[in-house]
Every structure is written in structure tokens, then in C-alpha cells.
Structure 1
Amino acid sequence: MKNRTLILLILLFLCGNVFSQNKLNHKKQHTMKLNAGIVTDKIAESKAFYTKILNFGITFENEFYLLLHTPDKSSEISFLLPNHPSQQSFFHKPFLGQGMYLTIEVDNVDEIYERIKKQNISIKIEIRNEPWGDRHFAIEDPNGVGIDIVTYAPQDEK
């Protein structure tokens, strides 16, 4: 009985030591959040587009800056007036309307597509299924940013 107790105590000690080492070796994960920003003169147009067409909410706004959030508040996008004296010169140049896109993942792309079509928004890529599993369509915001609205689906097994 003494041997069993001793073995049990040794095992408990070793297991406890392993767990405490795992805690020491585990690095703390730091939170990182992405907020895409567009430097543009079209802040009012951007606000109308994202709030009325895509149902974004307003997180913050003032005379030179607008911060919007997705309906579930998981993501944000901001708009900043070019050449604003409150900003460093690095953030003065306006976006030129090319070479940028955003993907918005939704639960039901067909529902969003029908709602947007009823608002007479120009559809840049009609709704379609892709071989890799996406079902999506694309529109364009007032700044020339392509907006890909997508529902991901697993690829068919072949």
C-alpha cells in the first residue's frame, strides 16, 4: 500500500510539473484587430453607401473622419479626408480608386443579392458559384473599392 501511495504521489507531482511547465511555455496571445481605412473626399457618399446598402453602423464620426462597423460589430472600416491638418502627411494622399477590394462574408448571399438588386445598385459581378466553393457577387463603393459579398460553401467531393 505504501508503494502505491508513493507511486501515486510521484505521478501527481510529475503531472503537476508538466502542467505548470505548459503554462510557463505558453505565450500570451495578443489581440489584433484590422480596421481598413480609405483616404477620400467622399466621406458622405461612403457613409450613405455603407449604412444604407450594407447596413453598417456608425462607430464614430467627426468633420474629417468616419468609422463604421459591420452589423454584428465584428469588423470596421474608416474614411479619412485627404490633406487634413490633424493627420501626418503620410495619411494625406487620397485613394485613387484602383487596386483594392473588400470581402464581406455573409450567411445568405442570395438574400443580400436580392435586397441590393431591389435598391438598383449596379452589380459588377453577377451572383455565381465558384469551383472552390464560394457563392458570391460584387458591387463597387463610391471610392471605386470592389466589394465581394460571399457565402463560403465546402467544395464538392470528387
Structure 2
Amino acid sequence: MQITASTVSLTVDDVAASQRFFTTHLGYAEQAAAEGFASLARDDVAMDIVLLARGTEVLPADQRDQHACGLILAFTTTGIEHEEKRLRAEGVEITMPLREEPWGERLFQVTDPNGVIVQFVEWATPPAAENA
């Protein structure tokens, strides 16, 4: 098996609101869209995102009314201070301010209009450097 791409599918109440959030603030571009559906991608290695309206019939019956919750969409990045400042300047609420964990992970979180938590992570000391 060869995996050629990775996509996370999120069921949300307002597809357009999440689509605007990811395209405006996180550099995603629309690949396809229809009523209650949007497919988003970036040019780098970030995971693609599919947004589906809660209640849509394309979802199995037992999943139709579920909402994307209990998950964190995490992106490992560089220049984390710059990203936090940029998002704050764009009016995005930082729902967990930048902090450093004892194990060397630096992170902060934002939340999209549908409650999807997006976490940005950068290693204070890259794991490979610790082993050198």
C-alpha cells in the first residue's frame, strides 16, 4: 500500500464559516465545494481537510448528527511566535496562549467558528538534535 495523501473529514454545523477560517487564516485553498461540502488543501505537506455539514445524507446514518469534537487538528510548524502574532493581528482569538511543555514542545491553539481546535506545535529543541 502506498498512501498518496492524508485527509481529515470534519462534520460541522456551518461549512462556509470553517471554510472561510481555514482559507483566510491558515492558507488553505478550496479544491471543490457544493452545498454542505468543501474540500480544502495546501501546497505543502499539511493534511487536506474535508468539511461536511452535520446531517448530510452522504454520512452513514449513525454519524450524521455527530459534530467534530474531542479532537485537536495539530500542525507542526516553524516560527511559532510569528504565527501566533500573525493570527492575533488578523483578529483570530488565541484560545490557548503560546506555552512550552516540560518535554520541549511549544504550542498554542485557536478555535474555528464551529469549535474545531487547531493547535500549532514547534519543538524548542528538535528531537534529532537531542540525540546527536
Report whether the alignment pairs 1:94 with 2:71.
Answer: no
Bigger Cα displacement from structure 2, 78-87 vs 36-45: 78-87
What is the aligned length? 128
Task: Please list the CA deviations of residues 118-147 of structure 1 after superposition, one character each: whole Å capped at 9, or x if unmatched.
Answer: 122111111122221222111111221211
3-state SS, counterpart of residue 111 of structure 1: helix
3-state SS, counterpart of residue 80 of structure 1: strand
Task: Please list the CA deviations of residues 38-97 of structure 1 after superposition, one character each: whole Å capped at 9, or x if unmatched.
Answer: 1122101001110111111112111121111134254211111122234442442230x5
- The answer for unaligned runs of 5 or more in structure 1 is 1-28
**The structure with more radius of gyration:** 1
Report whether the alignment pairs 1:31 with 2:3.
Answer: yes
Bigger Cα displacement from structure 2, 71-80 vs 138-147: 71-80
Report whether the alignment pairs 1:62 with 2:34.
Answer: yes
Question: Structure 2 matches for 1:52-131, cutoff 5 A?
Answer: 52-72=24-44, 74-95=46-67, 98-131=69-102
Larger RCO (CA under 8 A, 6+ residues apart)? 2
Q: Partners of 1:111 and 1:51 in 2: how far apart?
A: 18
Bigger share in strand: 2
**Counterpart among 99, 102, 114 of residue 143 in structure 1:** 114
Please, what TM-score do these two structures have when normalized by structure 1?
Answer: 0.70
Query: Cα distance 1:137–1:74, how it changes in 2: closer, same or farther (>3 A)?
Result: closer
Bigger share in helix: 1
Aligned identity (percent) is 23
Please, what TM-score do these two structures have when normalized by structure 2?
Answer: 0.82
Q: Partners of 2:62 and 2:23 in 1: how far apart?
A: 28
Task: Give the RMSD, CA atoms, in angstroms.
Answer: 2.2
- The answer for unaligned runs of 5 or more in structure 2 is none
Q: Partners of 2:105 and 2:20 in 1: how far apart?
A: 28
